């Protein structure tokens, strides 16, 4: 008997089919993961179940049965009891889902008042119990805290506690960990799993991350363009995904034994498209005539495993053909293009008048590395560790407090503004968010030529067209505005803009983290191809270890403004020495590892404003010793290319 069962749910917004005939069943104690790229209708499915759709959208047909009762038929007053009561929901962004002017306790007791019959006097105690249940230490004191006093992971825990206050039967988690760092993500996922088991809740987990699905789900549903295309038990899905789209999703994941990621060309179709045949046909390599004529029906492949695909209906198995591996080894130059020597960026925390003792935030605290021609160095770390600040300090967009940045042997900080302008052509940056990195008021042509003009280069239309062709954009893109392009295409424009001035070094600041998996694969492939062709060096800033592993020749791991370990790609990924690197690697949700049994970091990342004494990592380190609390470890060389800062490894 399923707790929540959705039958043929259709949600429409004008002409848009947001959700198109979705059916799913979740049993008590089970997790159903809804997987898909953005714009596939995952969140809309969840909002339809909660009946929290935006006003312009409406559910046109279907049933949502909660313990045998169709909640779509309930009056709004009864629905309010269901929301937060029988069905709880956790949102993606913990920063905005808590009210900043109310204390944590007030927000939890609010739910208790609404959804429980217990006397008001006990609510305070209940709230404290809930907070300790979600693993927040010192719960009674924390009740009086305001959201700004909590870290992101803590806020998400509070959010979970609030949801639990209504004692729900069904928990809907909409990308609950997407905004969190990997180490925190692992903690929150484990907490969700434990709570679900204790309470026997049914959970609908919405995510785009295959790793998260693998760690959490019992059942998997893959959504594409508003409909489910494959439903399978976890094990069946991960051993043999059936639908071409599911297979492509797997192939698009960066993995170290693949030389080139599968390109799912194009992007998710617009929701107002009138589909004649299969929705995926236009992006599918195996599509044949029938796919464009008739929508496929469900084909049952095994116990609880079905997919919509004409090929499967004809009892053919689908295998995604992977592009043959290119010779991707670009010869790394022998000369260092970039040398960063003891770079420091300190911010004053507050201005103190006429005082020499200004408290400083050490965003970057003595970082040194070098980067050779046509080489990629990945800078990896949790948010707030100073990765982006390093990038900006290298580009001289951020004033460095101390240290040197040598580009081809020229010390950038020592240059006059005029001389620095000459050097700007050699280094460029690609930003994380392709939506804020392009001025919406300028045409693509102006965007591309701006840098060339500012640096006094000649602008030639033929060059511009060649540039667009290089990044895989059509010629007519020149006269269009950024908003006419999708996220992936915008990132291509941003790449073209950087390439326009023929730089030797490109700093890539999380260029794929705002993109979907399939688009991420396109961009990563593009970056790799460009490196081979143009011999450009990348400083690749990311928090995503698999991407770093796939793209980088060397990886540097940062913690609180310092590099704790640096080494060749394989040295870091397979023979990591620093406990922090190990923890980061362990926290990455894995497709192959079973659920549970992961060594997790227990604490939150410390603040860079008040770094711990000694080794910054010691409060979170499982192997911390006495010396770790007193002294920052010196650099230890493990191999000619592998260096680490850790007392465990230093020869006494």
Partner 1 sequence: MMPVVLWTDALIYLLVISMALMLYFQPADGQLREALRRLYQNKMGIITGWILLMFTLLALLDSLHYRPVLPDSPTPQYSIEVMSALDAVLQPLRAHNEKTYSAPLAQHLYVKENVTLANGLVVRDYPRLNIAQTPQPEVSVLLLRGTSWGMAAILLIWLVMRLFHVRHTMGAGSWVLIIVLLGTMLLISLAGHYHILGTDKVGQDVLYSTLKSIRTGLLIGTLTTLIMLPFAVLMGISAGYFGGWLDDVIQYIYTTLNAIPSVLLIAAAVLMMQVYIETHPALFDSSAARTDFRLLFLCIIIGVTNWTGLCRLLRGETLKLRELDYVQAARAFAVSDMRIMLRHILPNLFHLILISVVMDFSGLVLAEAVLSYVGVGVDPAMQSWGNMINAARLEMAREPVVWWPLVAAFSFMFTLVLAANLFADSVRDAFDPKGHA
What residues does 343 pair with on adjacent strands? 367
What residues does 404 pair with on adjacent strands? 341
CA distances from residue 546 to 175, 195, 252, 551, 644 in whole angstroms, order as listed: 20, 29, 12, 9, 20
* Site stretch for partner 1 (CB under 8 A), options 67-75, 173-181, 237-245, 417-425: 417-425
The owner of tokens 């950087």 is 498
Longest dimension (CA), the chain: 81
Q: Indicate whether 130 belongs to the interface with partner 1 (CB under 8 A).
A: no
Q: Indicate whether 397 belongs to the interface with partner 1 (CB under 8 A).
A: yes
Q: Indicate whether 454 belongs to the interface with partner 1 (CB under 8 A).
A: yes
Strand ranges for 132-260 from DSSP E? 170-174, 202-207, 219-224, 227-233
Choice between 349 and 397, CB closer to partner 1: 397
- Give buried/exposed letters for 505-540 (b at 16+ CB in 10 A, else e): bbbbbbbbebbbbbbbbbbbbbbbbbbeeebbbbbb
Closest distance to partner 1 from the beta carbon of 65 (Å): 40
DSSP for 320-385, written as a single string: PPPPPPP---PPPPSSEEEEEEEEEEEEESS--TT-S---EEEEEEEEEEEEETT-EEEEE--TTS
Choice between 424 and 593, CB closer to partner 1: 424
Residues 254-313 that bind partner 1 (CB under 8 A): none
Among 147, 211, 403, 451, binds partner 1 (CB under 8 A): 451
**445-453 long-range Cβ contacts below 8 angstroms, 24+ apart:** 445/478, 445/479, 447/482, 447/493, 447/497, 448/478, 448/493, 448/496, 448/497, 448/500, 449/500, 450/497, 451/497, 451/500, 451/501, 452/500, 452/501
Quote the CA–CA distance of 290 and 275 in Å, as a whole number: 13
Among 319, 439, 613, 641, binds partner 1 (CB under 8 A): 439
Residues 470-529 that bind partner 1 (CB under 8 A): 481, 483-484, 494, 497, 501
Choice between 22 and 496, CB closer to partner 1: 496
Q: Indicate whether 384 belongs to the interface with partner 1 (CB under 8 A).
A: no
Burial classification of residue 601, based on how many CB atoms lie within 10 Å of its CB (0-12 exposed, 13-18 middle, 19 or more buried): buried
Among 443, 465, 568, 593, binds partner 1 (CB under 8 A): 443
Choice between 35 and 505, CB closer to partner 1: 505
Among 137, 409, 440, 651, binds partner 1 (CB under 8 A): 440
* Site stretch for partner 1 (CB under 8 A), options 72-80, 121-129, 431-439, 644-652: 431-439
Helix axes 517-534, 244-251, angle to 10 degrees: 50
Choice between 540 and 580, CB closer to partner 1: 540
Q: E strand or H helix at 127, and its extent?
A: helix 123-133
Closest distance to partner 1 from the beta carbon of 479 (Å): 9
Choice between 311 and 395, CB closer to partner 1: 395
Contact (CB, 8 A) for 478 and 445: yes
Contacts with partner 1 by CB under 8 A: the residue count is 31
Q: Indicate whether 469 belongs to the interface with partner 1 (CB under 8 A).
A: no
Closest distance to partner 1 from the beta carbon of 481 (Å): 4
Closest distance to partner 1 from the beta carbon of 451 (Å): 3
Choice between 57 and 442, CB closer to partner 1: 442
* Site stretch for partner 1 (CB under 8 A), options 44-52, 186-194, 241-249, 448-456: 448-456
Q: Indicate whether 402 belongs to the interface with partner 1 (CB under 8 A).
A: no
Choice between 458 and 483, CB closer to partner 1: 483
Q: Indicate whether 438 belongs to the interface with partner 1 (CB under 8 A).
A: yes
Quote the CA–CA distance of 573 and 139 in Å, as a whole number: 38
Choice between 4 and 268, CB closer to partner 1: 268
User: Where along the sequence are the contacts to partner 1 (CB under 8 A)?
Assistant: 392, 395, 397, 420-421, 424, 427-429, 431-433, 436-443, 446, 450-451, 454-455, 481, 483-484, 494, 497, 501
């Amino acid at each position: 008997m399923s707790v929540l069962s959705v039958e043929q749910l259709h949600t429409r917004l004008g002409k848009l089919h947001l959700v198109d005939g979705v059916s799913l069943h979740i049993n008590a104690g089970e997790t159903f993961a809804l997987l898909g790229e953005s714009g596939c209708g995952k969140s809309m499915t969840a909002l339809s179940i909660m009946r929290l759709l935006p006003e312009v959208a409406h559910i046109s047909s279907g049933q949502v049965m909660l313990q045998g009762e169709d909640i779509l038929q309930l009056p709004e007053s009864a629905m309010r009891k269901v929301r937060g009561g029988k069905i709880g929901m956790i949102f993606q962004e913990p920063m905005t889902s808590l009210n900043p002017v109310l204390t944590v306790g007030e927000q939890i007791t609010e739910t208790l008042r609404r959804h429980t019959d217990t006397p008001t006097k006990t609510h305070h105690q209940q709230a404290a119990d809930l907070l300790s249940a979600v693993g927040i230490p010192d719960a009674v004191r924390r009740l009086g805290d305001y959201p700004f006093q909590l870290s992101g992971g803590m806020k998400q825990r509070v959010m979970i506690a609030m949801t639990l206050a209504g004692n729900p039967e069904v928990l809907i988690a909409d990308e609950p960990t997407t905004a969190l760092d990997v180490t925190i993500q692992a903690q929150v996922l484990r907490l969700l799993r434990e709570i679900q088991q204790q309470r026997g809740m049914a959970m609908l987990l919405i995510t785009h991350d295959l790793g998260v699905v693998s760690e959490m789900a019992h059942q998997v549903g893959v959504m594409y363009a508003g409909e489910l295309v494959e439903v399978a038990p976890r094990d069946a899905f991960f051993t043999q995904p059936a639908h071409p789209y599911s297979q492509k999703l797997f192939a698009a994941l960066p993995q170290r034994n693949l030389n080139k990621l599968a390109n799912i060309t194009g992007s998710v179709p617009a929701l107002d498209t009138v589909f004649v045949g299969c929705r995926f046909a236009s992006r599918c390599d195996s599509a044949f005539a029938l796919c464009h004529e008739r929508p496929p029906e469900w084909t049952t492949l095994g116990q609880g495993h079905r997919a919509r695909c004409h090929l499967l209906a004809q009892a053919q198995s689908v295998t995604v053909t992977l592009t043959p591996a290119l010779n991707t080894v670009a010869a790394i130059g022998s000369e260092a293009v970039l040398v960063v020597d003891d770079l420091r960026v300190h911010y004053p925390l507050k201005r103190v008048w006429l005082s020499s003792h200004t408290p400083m935030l050490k965003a970057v605290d003595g970082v040194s590395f070098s980067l050779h021609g046509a080489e990629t160095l990945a800078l990896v770390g949790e948010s707030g560790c100073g990765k982006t600040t390093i990038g900006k300090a290298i580009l001289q967009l951020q004033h460095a407090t101390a240290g040197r940045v040598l580009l081809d042997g020229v010390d950038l900080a020592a240059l006059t503004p005029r001389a620095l302008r000459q050097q700007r052509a050699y280094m460029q940056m690609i930003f994380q968010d392709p939506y804020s990195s392009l001025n919406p008021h300028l045409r693509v042509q102006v965007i591309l030529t701006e840098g060339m003009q500012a640096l006094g280069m000649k602008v030639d239309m033929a060059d511009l067209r060649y540039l667009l062709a290089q990044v895989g954009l059509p010629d007519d893109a020149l006269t269009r505005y950024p908003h006419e392009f999708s996220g992936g295409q915008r990132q291509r424009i941003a790449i073209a803009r950087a390439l326009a001035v023929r730089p030797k070094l490109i700093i890539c600041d999380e260029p794929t983290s705002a993109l979907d998996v399939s688009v991420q694969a396109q961009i990563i492939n593009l970056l790799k191809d460009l490196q081979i062709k143009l011999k450009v060096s990348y400083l690749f800033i990311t928090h995503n270890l698999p991407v770093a592993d796939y793209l980088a020749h060397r990886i540097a791991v940062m913690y609180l403004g310092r590099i704790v370990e640096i080494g060749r790609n394989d040295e870091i990924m397979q023979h990591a020495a620093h406990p922090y690197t190990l923890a980061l690697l362990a926290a990455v949700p894995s497709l192959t590892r079973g659920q549970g049994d992961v060594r997790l970091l227990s604490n939150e990342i410390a603040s860079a404003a008040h770094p711990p004494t000694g080794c910054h990592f010691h409060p979170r380190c499982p192997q911390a010793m006495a010396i770790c609390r007193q002294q920052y470890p010196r650099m230890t060389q493990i191999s000619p290319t592998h260096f680490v800062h850790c007392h465990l490894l230093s020869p006494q």
